[in-house]
Structure 1
Amino acid sequence: MTPRTRRRTEALSRDRIVEAAVELLDAGGEAGLTFRTLTERLETGAGAIYWHVANKDELLAAATDGVVAAALAVGSPGSPPDEIRAVALGLFEAIEQHPWLATQLALQFSRSPSGSVTPRIFEAIGRRVRSLGVPAGHRFTTTSALVSYILGAAGQNAANAQSAAHANRAEFLDAVSDAWEELDAREYPFMREIAAEQRGHDDREQFLAGVDLVLAGITAVHRAG
């Protein structure tokens, strides 16, 4: 089999189509993913792609699910809190590495909560929440709070990274901190107080500190026994 024939054979695989879609999304966002660019990337015809995916929405959902599945493929590092941190960090890194993912996750949660993405994320977090000793009747709310924080904070971090993409991160944070320090002291006393903390902070450490705060609250409210 020649390399060209091999590529055409691979293009007939749904997994390979999704892989190529993720590559195009990473390179150009949702606008960069069209069936035309996909056929060019895979060196195949549109019919071969439509055999596996019906339309762009289905392709975006499959790409989102594929990235999320890889992010959640974590081992069992130990205790339920440690496993929740590992799952959270996996999602954080996936959203950081794939700038389009945060928007697609929001769409999947709002438009297609019965699809594969929402159950996959809730299952990964929820089974660990149950292991924390959270009683039945409180697990949905608890898991929702964790998922909301994880996706919201990770999405905000990705948006901040995009804003600072064309500037030095340290310079960007310095500029933000300087602006906060110049706010009116009577109207924004708190913002002026935390300006120095914001300068040079580590996004990942801040994210995991937030996870720990949520976990501490869960433990305080739902102490096993």
Structure 2
Amino acid sequence: MAEESVWLRPRKRERRPLTLDRIVTEAVALLDEEGEARLTMRRLAERLDTGSTTLYWHVRTKDDVLDLALDAVFGEVPLPDAGGWRDRAGELVSAWRAALLRHPWSTGLLDRPMLGPNALARTEFLYATLAEAGFGGPDLPAAAFSLSTYVTGSATMQARDEAATDPAVRELMVDRLAAYPTLAGHGLGHDWDATFARGLGYLLDGMAASIRGAR
């Protein structure tokens, strides 16, 4: 339920030496090393060298930890401070993708409510940048959604592809695509960075043309 979100509850006072920042840092490290499936409150308490009771003072559930960790990933995305709207929007979403790929587990959590301060600040920046460019009314969320969903979709697909490292699985994928010649020729083995940059260019070109056409 929404009212149970860690972001919608008053923050408790710290019980040092354990702090919420330390909990989040250790949770991100554990997730990076072993993935979401291996994250439990008990294992996190052990890594923090503390008891579960102390940990539960700061966070109620694993969901709290995941929400905080995901927002920490968003916090790694710098806010561009130079260039025109196109440069700033492109730089933001490219850095957003890079942050997600540094922490592949994060792509599996993108259906969670994005109510953390870092996620909201980046979303606000994207909206403000596009509004400055001339998007307004229903065009503004449409433009923002186009960029944000492109980033999350691209990162999710890449993370899943890179996780399929078993040669036997890769061979099965190739065999499966044999009946689909266009996919077989272009759907596997491409340069993810180059593909993302090209697709981002298509989106930004279309947005720029839309603005010019409206003037």
> Which residue of 39, 42, 46 corresponds with 1:36?
42
**1:87 CA displacement:** 1.4
Match of 2:89 in 1: 84
**1:200 CA displacement:** 4.8
1:57-72 equivalence runs, <5 A: 57-71=63-77
**1:26 CA displacement:** 1.1
Residues in 2 aligned to 1:86 and 1:176: alpha-carbon distance in whole angstroms: 33
Residues in 2 aligned to 1:177 and 1:131: alpha-carbon distance in whole angstroms: 45
**1:46 CA displacement:** 1.7
Determine if contact 2:127/2:140 at 8 Å carries over to the other structure.
yes
Residues in 1 aligned to 2:40 and 2:188: alpha-carbon distance in whole angstroms: 40
Q: Give the counterpart letter for 2:204 in structure 1.
A: L
Determine if contact 2:74/2:96 at 8 Å carries over to the other structure.
yes
Unaligned runs of 5+ in 1: 1-7
Residues in 2 aligned to 1:216 and 1:128: alpha-carbon distance in whole angstroms: 16
Match of 1:3 in 2: none
Normalised by the size of structure 2, how large is the TM-score?
0.80
Normalised by the size of structure 1, how large is the TM-score?
0.76
Match of 1:212 in 2: 201
> Which residue of 49, 52, 58 corresponds with 2:58?
52
> Which residue of 99, 104, 109 corresponds with 2:109?
104
Q: Does 1:131 align with 2:121?
A: no
| Cα deviation 1:88-122 (Å, max 9, x = unaligned) | 1212112212121011122x1xxx35554653442
**1:140 CA displacement:** 1.1
Determine if contact 1:20/1:38 at 8 Å carries over to the other structure.
yes
Change over 3 Å in CA distance of 1:34–1:177 after alignment to 2: closer
Residues in 2 aligned to 1:178 and 1:219: alpha-carbon distance in whole angstroms: 41
| Cα deviation 1:144-168 (Å, max 9, x = unaligned) | 121111111111111111113x45x
- Percent identity, aligned pairs only, is 31
**1:23 CA displacement:** 0.7
Determine if contact 1:85/1:208 at 8 Å carries over to the other structure.
no
Report which of the two structures shows the higher radius of gyration computed on alpha carbons.
1
SS at match of 2:24: helix
Unaligned runs of 5+ in 2: 1-14
Residues in 1 aligned to 2:128 and 2:142: alpha-carbon distance in whole angstroms: 13
Residues in 2 aligned to 1:119 and 1:199: alpha-carbon distance in whole angstroms: 34
Determine if contact 2:40/2:62 at 8 Å carries over to the other structure.
yes
